[in-house]
Amino acid sequence: MTNRYIDAAERYARDVLSAAVPACKWTRLAVERQQADLLRECGPDWPYVFDHERAARPCEFLELLPHIKGKWAREGRLIELEDWQCWIVTTVFGWVHAETRLRRFREGYVEVPRKNAKSTLSSGLALYMLSADGEHGAEVYSAATTRDQARIVFDDSKAMALRLPGLRDHLGVAVMQHSITVAHTASSYRPLAAEGSTLDGLNVHFAVIDELHAHKTRAVYDVIDTARGAREQALLWNITTAGTDISGICYERRTHVTKVLQGVVLDPATFGVVYTIDSGDDPQDPTCWAKANPNYGKSVLEDDMIAAARKAATMPSALNNFLTKRLNVWVNGESAWLDMRSWDGVAQPGLTTDQIPAGTPVWMGLDLAQKKDFAALAIVWQRAGMWHVCIRLYLNEFAVKESPNAYLSGWAREGHVTVTDGNVTDFDVIAADMRTLCRQHDVQEIAYDPALSAYFAGKLVEEGLPLVEIQQRAMFFTQPVLQVENLVLEKKLRHDANPAMAWMVSNTVVKVSKFNELRHPTKEREENKIDGVLAMFMALGRALSPQAKTESVYETRGMRFL
């Protein structure tokens, strides 16, 4: 059985997937995720069901609330949810555990430009979670770094409650200056700011963190996040526009959400959607604006967007504001190097070095680290016009235990990462693998960075292994970055589908010099490892260079392994 809110959500999903509604890559992926989940059968691996009644209930509540700002407030109109809002709310609230009936989603992340009714939606949801979610002793917060910011959503909720007598008469909602309460359930709703407030002792049922991008530290997020542990179905609601601080908590959560949407990270408890323009879109092109602004033509007015775009085009100082606030583009964030769907599209599970034909030239790239980073060995070869890549990753057991990546121990058990004893990665294990590969195959070169491995490499050179020094600088990386990207997009590369390597690919961003267009792969955070990608670039960089040898270096040196 459906109702108009479910119908609206389904209509929005169809329109996005058919391109009837303009949508960026991240919005499409979010819709595709929901559609795929709806097709899954409930079972041990998927214990969730979609409850239409639970999905529609908060929508019904929201449409009882009045507008409190602007023209619609003057006209005394109630909130009318757009299709995209129905899709978000029904998705977040509709999924429940089949047995416990508790909500699936514990965290939501909605990134959307200003004037798309962010605060209105969040204020209404806060009132719903306070008074109509069935939670006794509910603690609801509008959280921010400053008191003024924390009161934005709270004051909107307060104004809604004051204009709707039914909340007081039927649900027992009492509105005070600094709190909203429901006495018969001992529930309360307050603004919460880091400045001058104790953030200890919270027992959060629902918290709105508005404009998460403005948080210069992660303190508020972390306190709210950890204060949900005692609640069975607490919900942390992050809603924000894009910003400029790629080292902050907002960009961290955004990155996590995009990896969930791409299938790189499995996190069924997190909902996320990002409304922005696509890479390559012209910010001055009006046909792109609706991608970033789902309320385009409603609360986001065309004339206002045109005026803002003109200002951005004529005043460089206004450009970043237009990009972040109107189009939801992170202006200081580097672009992800590769679309993960493209990387997944050239996977060849089961590919191993045992499949290298006898006499085929092979190149290797070596990126070494002893403590917290991975050591990585990339093995590449060409066959029938197709480049093949196998990755071997090494990490010590202490680093595996301390890693914030919850998947790492599983990757180790499955053999995707070789774990060495102790708190320092054992280079002897790597050296043994390299010797074996050189005995078995026609290895042309082993590219390595001498910065961390001069002594190690020197010993192997003395044994006759064909190591070649590569400085990990933009001058070397520019061509491999472009070449590997083209190989992937043209489907002329196959890799062994190592999930740890896929994670590293998703972590890789490429900085482009403004002066000479040189490219350098990097990571945005220390925990975002990219060692396997660097090893691949070194191996393929040498293999694809004009000086790449086609005959065995052992033949030219008169060497052979016993």
- Measured CA angle at 69 (ends 68, 73), to 5 deg: 65
Asked if residues 509 and 336 have their Cβ atoms less than 8 Å apart, the reply is yes
180-189, 286-295, 507-516: which range is least confident on average? Answer: 507-516
CA dihedral 296, 298, 299, 304 (to 10 degrees): 60
Tell me whether residue 332 is in a domain. no
Write the pLDDT tens digit of every residue in 415-453.
999 999 888 888 889 999 999 999 999 999 999 887 766
Write the pLDDT tens digit of every residue in 328-351.
998 865 667 887 878 989 999 999
Q: Number of structural domains, the chain?
A: 2
78 & 113 share domain:
yes
306 & 373 share domain:
no
For residues 288 and 265, which has the higher predicted lDDT (pLDDT)? 288
Write the pLDDT tens digit of every residue in 23-34.
999 999 999 999
Euclidean distance between CA atoms 145 and 122, whole angstroms:
17
Write the pLDDT tens digit of every residue in 93-140.
999 999 999 999 999 999 999 999 998 999 999 999 999 999 999 999
Asked if residues 109 and 257 have their Cβ atoms less than 8 Å apart, the reply is yes
For residues 403 and 557, which has the higher predicted lDDT (pLDDT)? 403
Write the pLDDT tens digit of every residue in 154-189.
999 999 999 988 888 889 999 998 999 999 999 999
Write the pLDDT tens digit of every residue in 462-483.
888 999 888 778 888 899 999 9
Euclidean distance between CA atoms 279 and 24, whole angstroms:
9
Euclidean distance between CA atoms 278 and 327, whole angstroms:
10
Tell me whether residue 493 is in a domain. yes
345 & 316 share domain:
no
Among residues 171, 172, 175, 168, the alpha carbon closest in space to that of 154 is found at 175
302 & 389 share domain:
no
Write the pLDDT tens digit of every residue in 222-279.
889 988 878 899 999 999 999 888 778 898 899 899 999 998 888 999 999 999 999 8
pTM score? 0.76
* Residue 416 DSSP code: S
In order, the DSSP letters of 377-413 are EEEEEEETTEEEEEEEEEEEHHHHHH-S-TTHHHHHH
Structural domain boundaries enclosing 367 = 340-557
What is the CB neighbour count within 10 angstroms for residue 226?
Answer: 11
367 & 294 share domain:
no
pLDDT confidence bin for 13, thresholds 50/70/90: very high
- Measured CA angle at 386 (ends 384, 387), to 5 deg: 130
Average pLDDT, rounded, for the chain: 89
Distance of CA 223 to the CA centre of its chain: 21
Tell me whether residue 562 is in a domain. no
pLDDT tops 60 at residue 557: no
pLDDT tops 80 at residue 317: no
Asked if residues 532 and 391 have their Cβ atoms less than 8 Å apart, the reply is yes
In this structure, are strands 467-469 and 493-495 parallel, antiparallel, or unpaired?
Answer: unpaired
Euclidean distance between CA atoms 180 and 265, whole angstroms:
38
298 & 235 share domain:
yes
The residue among 273, 305, 327 that closes a domain is: 327
Among residues 242, 245, 234, the alpha carbon closest in space to that of 258 is found at 242
Tell me whether residue 43 is in a domain. yes
